[in-house]
Every structure is written in structure tokens, then in C-alpha cells.
Chains A and B, each alone.
Chain A
Amino acid sequence: MLEIKNLHVAVGGKEILKGLTLSVAEGEVHAIMGPNGSGKSTLSYVLAGREGYEITQGSISYRGEDLATMKTEDRAARGVFLAMQYPVEIPGVTTLTFLKTALNAQRRARGDSELDAMSVLKLVRQKATALQVSEEMLKRALNVGFYGGEKKRLEILQMAIFEPALAILDETYSGLDIDALKLVAEGVNALRAPERAMLVITHYQRLLNYIVPDRVHVLAGGRIVAEGGKELAHELEAKGYAHVVKEPA
């Protein structure tokens, strides 16, 4: 589903990713781990298509198409979803309005008919219960005055509503207490599906006790420096990044 080959990405003229190669198949959950500053967030932004992240070399193929040439909103409509580390606030726009606007924009782009307010509400309610997203939260302005845990749950709710083919979760768990973490992880696990790939980006191993990955990649200095199964995460936990990062080059 996702084939990244020798990817070089510069931000503000500075090269952050320096020849990253990664392959993710349908139905798989891959964890990208790495110390701060290794390029994890850059990877998530370049996949989502954030402005200012320039591909200087290499390629990204998504379901057989060149992802780099697709507009940001088109990527979303074609199933690329990024659960963000810092979800933004949009004052005056209720969460429900935002969800409806986004859902219908994606449906329009795919040539599907738009859903009316009642159908959207029904769909959202149905998905919201499991994530403990209340009616009251849906009526509030998007992320305005939300607690950290509420913001993260809302990100996962959006993932449940949009049903992406490729979900990238960027430090979705940072700042959550253990109960909130479990809730979010359950939400994510419920969305594991044969037709969906996930890229879980984190520098905490603890999360991977709850969302167990099929593959673990270690990102350092803009490259994948180690790969393995879920046991690699435990090794990192025990020995630290320095141990793993040193070996290959």
C-alpha cells in the first residue's frame, strides 16, 4: 500500500529525512520509533502533504500512485489520515459542523453524495459512544477548551468516521494518563482491519504494549536504522536508543 523509497525531505532548506525507505502492506500496523529530532514528525507531515516539507529526492507510492503530486485535501479524500500530535482549535465552528464539512468534502471528492445533517449526526453518535465523546463535546467549538485527552479522543473519532486506508498516528498518546491511553488504544485497535494500514509514530515504547505492531522501525538521523518485530520495541525499552542506533549505518 505504501512504498517509500530513498526519501529525502528538506524543511526550510535543511535536510531532515536523508534516504528513508519503508514499505507498509494492507492490514499491517507499523511502529516508527526514534529519539526526538530524528525526523518522525517530518515523515508524518510529508505523507499528509503539509506545506513547507519539500521532497528533494526519492519517491512515495501510495496504492500505486505518486503521493507527492497529490494535493493535501485529495490525499485525505483518498484515505490518508493523520491523527495529529497537536490538534488545532477553530473558534466558533462546532465540532459537529467541522465533522460534517470534512466528511462531505471527502465524499464529494470521491464522487459520493453528501450526507445531510441528520445522517451525519447519526453516524457520529454511533461512533462517539465507544470513545466516550459526549454530545456536549460535539456542540463545542472544535478543540476549543478541550482537555488533552478529549482532543486525542476526537482525533480517533475522526479516524473512525472517515475510515481511512492509511492512518498515521503522530504521538497520539503523549500527555495521556493510563486510563485515557487505554481508551485511545482500544479505539485504535477496533479500527484495525485487513484493508487498513497504520503507521504509529511514537518515542514511547509503553504505548506499544496496548497497540501491538506487526513491525517496528527505528528512525534516527533521517533514516531507518533498525527494523524488527514487536520484540524490537522491548529491546529499545530495555537498552535505550543509543544501543540500537549505533549498530548499522
Chain B
Amino acid sequence: MSAAADTKEQVAALGEKYKYGFVTDIEMERAPKGLSEDTVKFISAKKGEPEWMLDWRLGAFRRWSEMTEPNWARVHYPKIDYQDAYYYAAPKAPEKKLSLDEVDPKLLETYAKLGIPLSEQKMLAGVAVDAVFDSVSVATTFKAKLNEAGVIFCPMSEAIRDYPDMVRKYLGTVVPVSDNFFATLNSAVFSDGTFVYVPKGVRCPMELSTYFRINASNTGQFERTLIIADEGSYVSYLEGCTAPMRDENQLHAAVVELVALEGAEIKYSTVQNWYPGDENGKGGIYNFVTKRGDCRGARSKISWTQVETGSAITWKYPSCILRGDDTVGEFYSIAIANHYQQADTGTKMIHLGKNTRSRIISKGISAGKAQNTYRGLVSVHPKAVNARNYTQCDSLLIGGKCGAHTVPYIESRNSSARIEHEATTSKIAEDQLFYCLQRGISQDEAVSLIVNGFCREVLQQLPMEFAVEAQKLVGISLEGSVG
């Protein structure tokens, strides 16, 4: 049995053990196993896609066939057998729903700690939700409000059907089809994702969140997201969820493209808390993500905020191309790796335009036997007069068996550039813990408090309603990491 299939089984087995809402025996419509032109055609046909989309996918597949998996990141995992996996599996009939009594109490405990309302807990755990479920009406209200503002917020498959011109104009213009191994794979087989368009001068009336997009609440294995903020518009997008999401796919390779036109601003926040594997490093999601934003118009701004606590492997570098003059790129990151988790994450700030500014604040926390790497590129091109970058990378170690690594790449081809890089590494000190314990704070709560303090600058960037949950999540992901 291949390593990939092996891990996949282990994930499934663990899901069974913890009853993380994994559902067996669902009638699935599956693409043939393995990856070939036929698989790609099958997926495209299933989605009823136009020919241009199929051609685009096939082009990607052909390129991917000639590519090799990158190995420069500081992550180690058994070789993935791409022919020993399914690339399309849609539930045929409505999913068999669990009742609340069948859900693992441990999972519900986590939800309770996060303060998630019961109705949402049910949805997250895959429990059948009754007709009066709040979010449905919430979603409807939201839709009406968005329509009024002219904002398009829909699944990618719908956008391909209903807004083909826009999709064709922007898809693959930020992350080209041939960008990298995982992005190319995504281009060939992406399952679904989100499409957002904010018209000129419109300030999106609410935070957009996949959380409320009920019809696509199950995160796909190969998500494709495209957000376009037209001139002078503003949008804030929240991705993911602090609760551990049920997911039976081992390999994830999402692509997110952001386009900010003149004077537009996009704020993109992520909380990623997928299954990290057990405390012995068995199972867990492999998360290979390509996220990039293009500040295409002058004075536009793109800001990434991420809280990465889940997945066995995180390989992710949300980046900004500062193409327009006077554009701003920001990256705020918290990456927590516990037990045997491996995180290699950071950003790329590509300064092309004049007076472009970028800011990178990265907080890496390692515990257990985890390895946590910050990898970032700041590149100033010859025409980027007066480019400015400030980078701050702080690492916090808990215990003596984990690792923190900082790998900054700095390229400057314009002498007017000013680039600052600060880095620190610290440990949770025994005297800090003792001080907290002496004041009545338990070990886990003390770690949570100290780590939240360490992450404060990044947590402050999150939208309010997310920040509270994220703070709790930081504590929960590190429970039992000391002593």
C-alpha cells in the first residue's frame, strides 16, 4: 500500500475512533481513481463546464504531468502517490446525517470551549440541522443585502456558468496555471471554491465568510478562490473556521487569487484548524496552498492575516505583488505547530511599483516535536523607487524538542529601497509559568495566556468576531504542551 493511501486510511481510522463526524457508506459519485486526462474531463463534465474551462484544465494537467514536486521546504512526509487517490467525489444522495448523541463528546467539548452556538456546532459536526436553523435565514438576509450592493458572492462553479467573461478575464492571472506543482494540480482538478466581485466604489456591507455559504460548507480538497475588488472598493473575507472541520481528504492544494484594482482594498483572514494528526504524528492533513494577491491598480492594498493551527503539514506563502504605484501589502501570521506538526509558511512581497510598502509580522510557536519555519521573500525590482519593507519574525519555543527556523530572502535592485528585518526567538520561561500558577492560573491556561500575549499584534488584525474564537483556539491547540 502506498504511503499516501496508508495515511489516508489512518486519518479515516482516527476519524472513526473519535467519531469526528466521519460518515461511512455514503453513496458517492467518484471519478476513476488516479489522475489522467479522463479524470479531468470527468470532473469538468460533472460540473457541466463550458469548453474553455475544460481546455484550461487540460492545459494545466499537461503541464503538471511534466512537473516535479518541490522539495525545498523544511517538511518531510512519505512520497505521495498521485495515482492512488480520488480527485472527485461528490455525495450523490443527501448525506446521511448523524444525531447529536452520535457525535464524539470530545469534539463537542472543543466547540463549547470555543463558544460556538449549538446550531453551528451541529452544522460543523455534520449533524442534521432542523428547518429553523438560524444560519439559513441569516444567509438569506445576507444575500439580499449583497445583491443590493451589487456584490457577487457565489461558488466558483456558479461563477463559471453565470459570469464566464469575468472568470476568463481574471482566473489564472495572479497564480498562472504553470506557477508551481500544487497550483498546477489545482488548476487541473479544482473541485469548487468561491468567487467574489465587488463593484467600483462599493464598500462591501459585511464581512464575507464561507461559514455562511451553507450550500458549500464542506471544504473541498482542491479549492479555487478568486476575489476581484474593482476600483475604489473594499472587501473583507474570512476563510475557514476555528472549529475542527470534518474532512476525509488527506491532500489539500488550494489556490486563492486576489485582484485589487485602483484604490481598492482586500482584507483576507484565514483560520485553519484541520486535523493535525494525533500526538504520535499519525494521520493529519497535508496542506499545500498557493495564495497570492495582485495590487494591480495604484494605491490599492492587500492584507493577509492567517492563524494556522491545524494540518500535519502546512506549506503556504500568501503573497502580494505590489504592481501599482503607492500600493501596500501586509502579512500577519500566527503559525502553531505542536506534537509532530510541520509548518513551513511565510510570504512573498514583490515590489514592482513606486512608493510601494510592505509589512510582515510573523509569530511562530513550536511545541512538542514540531518544526516551524518562517520562509519569506522581500524583492524590490529596479523600478520600485522608494520601496519600504518592515519584517518582524518572532519565534516561541515550548519545551526542548521542537524547532524554529527563520529563512528570510531579501533581494533589492533599487538603491532607494529601505528594508528592515527583525527576528527574535524566545522560550516560555519556567519562572513565567510559576508566576501564573502561583496566582491560581492552571498550566494550560498559563500557556494560552502567554502565547496569546506573544501573538497579540496579529490577533488584533482579525475581525472582532473571529478574534475571540482565535484566542481560544490558540490555547486549545497547545493544551498539554507543558509538563
Contacts and interface: CB of A to CB of B under 8 A. Distances in A.
Interface of A: 48-51, 71-73, 75-77, 81-82, 84, 86-93, 97-98, 101-103, 105-106, 109, 141, 158, 162
Contact of A90 (B432, B434, B457): B432
Contacts of A81: 438
B431 A88 contact: yes
B468 to A, nearest CB: 13
Interface of B: 429-432, 434-443, 445, 449-450, 452-457
B453 A90 contact: yes
A50 B450 CA distance: 18
Given A88-B431, A90-B432, A102 B453 contact: no
B438 A76 contact: yes
A114 B437 CA distance: 18
A101 B449 contact: yes
B475 to A, nearest CB: 11
Question: Which 8 pairs across A and B sit closest by C-beta, in order of nearness?
Answer: A92-B453, A76-B440, A93-B453, A102-B439, A106-B440, A92-B456, A72-B437, A88-B435
B439 A158 contact: yes
**Most central of A51, A73, A75, A87 by chain B CB within 10 Å:** A73
Given A73-B440, A92-B454, A101-B441, 16 more contacts: A76-B440, A82-B438, A84-B435, A90-B435, A90-B450, A90-B453, A93-B449, A93-B450, A93-B456, A102-B440, A102-B441, A105-B439, A105-B441, A105-B442, A158-B439, A162-B440
B168 to A, nearest CB: 46
A48 B449 contact: no
Contacts of B440: 73, 76-77, 102-103, 105-106, 109, 162
A76 B437 contact: yes
Given A73-B437, A77-B440, A101-B441, A88 B429 contact: yes
A98 B446 CA distance: 10
A101 B437 contact: no
Contacts of B432: 88-90
Contacts of B457: 92
A84 B431 CA distance: 11
A76 B439 contact: yes
A37 B454 CA distance: 35
A88 B436 CA distance: 9
A141 B453 contact: yes
Contacts of B438: 48-50, 72-73, 75-76, 81-82, 84
Contact of B437 (A49, A89, A92, A103): A49
A73 B441 contact: yes
B247 to A, nearest CB: 32
B434 to A, nearest CB: 5
A105 B454 CA distance: 21
Contacts of B435: 84, 87-88, 90
5 contacts: A71-B437, A72-B437, A76-B438, A86-B431, A92-B452
Nearest to B437: A72
Contact of A98 (B430, B443, B449): B449
A21 to B, nearest CB: 24
A98 B456 CA distance: 14
Nearest to A110: B440
B437 A102 contact: no
A89 B439 CA distance: 14
Contacts of B439: 76, 98, 102, 105-106, 158, 162
